[in-house]
Chains A and B, each alone.
Chain A
Amino acid sequence: MLLIRCPYCEEERPELEFRNAGEAHIARSANMAGESDDDFEKFFFIRSNPKGIIHERWRHMHGCARFFNAVRDTVTDKFIMTYKAGEPKPSKLPGVAK
């Protein structure tokens, strides 16, 4: 089971308190009805599914119930950092070479 740090509660808590909410930083169109089929497919179905660093959303379901973002390595499942929703994608990651 993963240990996840909620940036709102500022505590590391067991995975059972959280729900994974998929890839982060996928912007929802302000004009969904006007989206082309191609753009809708990219938004709705296509995922980066990286082997390595992933940016993903989590929700502290059984805690503060808020959404936040995390950076994790999908090979080791180790969390590199978590940050609040709405904050920009971190450009530098602590402890990661590139």
Chain B
Amino acid sequence: MKKYSVFAIAREAMRGHKGWEEQWSSPEPKKEYDVIIVGAGGHGLATAYYLATVHGITNVAVLEKGWLGGGNTGRNTTIIRSNYLYDESAGIYDHALKLWDGLSQELNYNVMYSARGVMMLAHNVHDIQVLKRHVHANRLNGIDNEWLSPEQAKEFCPPLNISKDARYPVVGAALQRRGGTARHDAVAWGYARGASARGVHIIQNCEVTGVKRAPNGAVMGVDTTRGFIGARKVGVVAAGHSSVIMNMAGVRMPLESYPLQALVSEPVKPVVPCVVMSNTVHAYISQSDKGELVIGAGTDQYVSYSQTGGLHILQHTLDAICEMFPIFTRMKMLRSWGGIVDVTPDRSPILAKTPVPGLYVNCGWGTGGFKATPGSGHVFAHTIARDDPHPINAPFTIERFRTGRLIDEAAAAAVAH
């Protein structure tokens, strides 16, 4: 792997940019690997990267039915924060946030992490109580989160409407300054490049069609559209399709998959300096470095794998955006799209061993997995390499739905996750 640097740019500029190499190779699949990761999204590629760099396991294949980073990694609204309520969530999301800081240097790839601040709005007394509870819980866990008055919120985000005449007036806000955004594609590409350079095989257009198990129940490998590939350890990181893959291994999951939509506007000059979210009116917004307003909508109400959603869901979100930011009422929306998100009953992920020996699962990130990408990959690699969860992901088992030890983040996660 040739290192990217200002000198590399200068060198390539001198010779017509003919020396850039492919960022990752596309080898033919081998007959057998030590570990197979199903799904080449951010979480899967990060898992492969940390298996190689932290645990020295490089005989790894990442199988992807479509193209790398083409699922929810390329479809989310790129928001990063760690202001979740419970200790377990604070542990895993803040682990990720700490890795975001410095990820570009670690990967030698600009993931454009920008700690521009995530501001969550309160519109009524109940919101104030809930958000203040979050502020206090976060600070006890060493996570920055502070309370702002409406005037301070407006100072932080000038286009915000804090008029008392609004249908749902802004009465306060919670601000996590370390929160922000990153370039979603670059995260997948950077991890892919780093993993590939260390010998990991990234195999695209290779759909898993079955999970093979030995007579003793343990995993032997996976059937794919490119033939059988053997492995004693298989990690399923397939987002909306996780339950489909797990069913192939005979494991039924506490998951339901829903369409989640987002949309972007025409590009304009910098106007939204941070991320603004409101769970009450169902909207969140940030501005990409290209200038587009990036707006996240809610999920549809029914199980679907269609990667599209109802237009009324987008309309509902835009109603709220126009209420919060009257300045945007005449903006044109350019594109909208949907992804399929796998949601658990308690809105917390599952990163765990499974009842099947050698089978591991990292799923259930629901509507908000992007922010956790580095931390999720880091602890999931640990779980696979050691056959034992990292203390950070130890509470995120499948068994919690039997024992009742849920990590109920429905209030923190809900729709705007």
Contacts and interface: CB of A to CB of B under 8 A. Distances in A.
Interface of A: 1-2, 15-16, 19-20, 22-23, 37-38, 40-42, 44-51, 54, 56, 72, 74-77
B269 interface: no
B14 interface: no
A47 B241 CA distance: 13
Contacts of A41: 254, 401-402
Interface of B: 241, 243-244, 252-257, 301-306, 308, 310-312, 342, 345, 401-404
Contact of B253 (A16, A44, A49, A76): A49
A76 B311 CA distance: 16
**Most chain A beta carbons < 10 A, residue from B255, B302, B310, B311:** B302
B254 A47 contact: yes
B255 A1 contact: no
A46 B254 contact: yes
B301 A19 contact: yes
A31 B200 CA distance: 52
Nearest to B344: A45
Contact of B306 (A19, A37, A49, A75): A75
Given A1-B310, A15-B310, A37-B402, A74 B254 contact: no
A49 B257 contact: yes
A1 B305 contact: no
Contacts of A54: 303
B402 A49 contact: no
A42 to B, nearest CB: 8
A33 B312 CA distance: 41
B254 A51 contact: no
B303 A45 contact: no
A59 to B, nearest CB: 11
A15 B412 CA distance: 28
Nearest to B404: A37
A10 B201 CA distance: 55
Contacts of B303: 23, 49-50, 54, 56, 74
Contact of A75 (B305, B312, B401, B403): B305
Contacts of B243: 47, 49
Contact of B241 (A37, A44, A51): A51
Contacts of B310: 1-2, 15
A56 B312 contact: no
